[in-house]
Amino acid sequence: MDDERSDTLTIGQLAHRTGLPVRTLRFWSDEGAVPPVARSASGYRLYDAESVARVELVRTLRELGLGLDDVCRVLSGRATVAEVADAHVAALDARIRSLKVSRAVLSTVAKRGSTAEETALMNRLARLSAAERKQVIDEFKEEVFGGLHVDPRLRDRLRTLSIELPDDPTPDQVDAWIELAELVRDPGFRMRLRAWLELNTPVAGRDRPPGASIWWARQVVQTVAEVRERGVAPVGSAAAEVLSELFGDTDRAAVLRSLEAGIEAGAERYRRLVARARGQASSPDATEELEWLARALRAAEPA
């Protein structure tokens, strides 16, 4: 066009210079991010060398995720890049946390083959606020631990038991929390866990319950793990010797009741889920050792 100044660029030339589509530049121009420096006699937008630099800045800020409103605030001097970046970092952190939760939920859905209804429930549980998560756990603790006549030190430990996700949980922590929240909201689980605690929790002023050593000290599980590693079957004289070493003349029927109550309650699953949700290292899953011990105790019962 012969009515254009030699030092200006048409929007097509600006697109060629910057490698951006004309429609993108036109949109940015309409929004005020890259306004034309002049108009030709025919009304076409004209840009200059500073416009090229401005386009590069807009492209950089857009690639970093800033909206055009924020870009325009920076370019007009109403906000600094640092101020906008600080606000955007906070927004990105929140978005990243949300994406991690979404990933964990979808991963769990895929692993379980969940229905739409189950997916919706898991999503709600995963996105509970800190206060809502605390309420779930507090209600669980009150029903399961409340009123237990236990040693004061143990009671305090149970009362202060916290199961809290950090501000930036890993996908595994979110997955564990979903499973744990489903578990502790189950009335059947609460009832079974309460029954197990009543059989196994040490009470002030009384002898330790016969089966408590299985649950409140890990030496029993460790011993059984070593025995299983040697290939000892739960039925036979070798297993009987192991039981004598572990329990001596303790009432083994009471030990078995304690053990079966814990297995039925899913105490080991609960323990491991709590550790995972907290992001803590947990001792290995002892389910197989507990099952071996239960079979050995049943086999040793008088005919």
pLDDT digits (tens, 9 = 90+) for 129-156: 878 888 888 888 888 877 777 666 666 6
Q: What's the CA gap between 203 and 219, in Å, rounded?
A: 21
Q: How does residue 1 score in pLDDT terms, banded at 50, 70 and 90?
A: very low
pLDDT in tens, 42-75: 899 999 999 999 999 999 988 888 889 989 988 8
Q: Which two tokens stand for residue 173?
A: 């922590």
Task: Tell me which of 10 and 213 has the higher pLDDT.
Answer: 10
Q: What's the CA gap between 236 and 227, in Å, rounded?
A: 13
For residue 286, pLDDT over 80 is answered with yes
pLDDT at residue number 2: 47
Judge whether 71 and 106 are in contact, CB under 8 Å. no
Work out the angle at residue 33's Cα, subtended by the Cα atoms of residues 27 and 34, and round it to the nearest 5 degrees: 80
Q: What's the CA gap between 170 and 167, in Å, rounded?
A: 10
What's the whole-model pTM score? Answer: 0.62
pLDDT at residue number 233: 94
Query: What residues form DSSP beta bridges with 9?
Result: 47
Choose among 52, 42, 40, 46: nearest CA to 11: 46
DSSP string, 117-165: HHHHHHHHHHT--HHHHHHHHHHHHHHHHTT----HHHHHHHHT-----
pLDDT at residue number 147: 74
**Residues recorded for the chain:** 303
CA distances from 58 to 8, 31, 35, 63 (A): 19, 12, 12, 8
For residue 162, pLDDT over 70 is answered with no
30-33 own/partner pairs: CB under 8 Å, 24+ apart:
31/68, 31/72, 32/72, 33/58, 33/68, 33/71, 33/72, 33/75
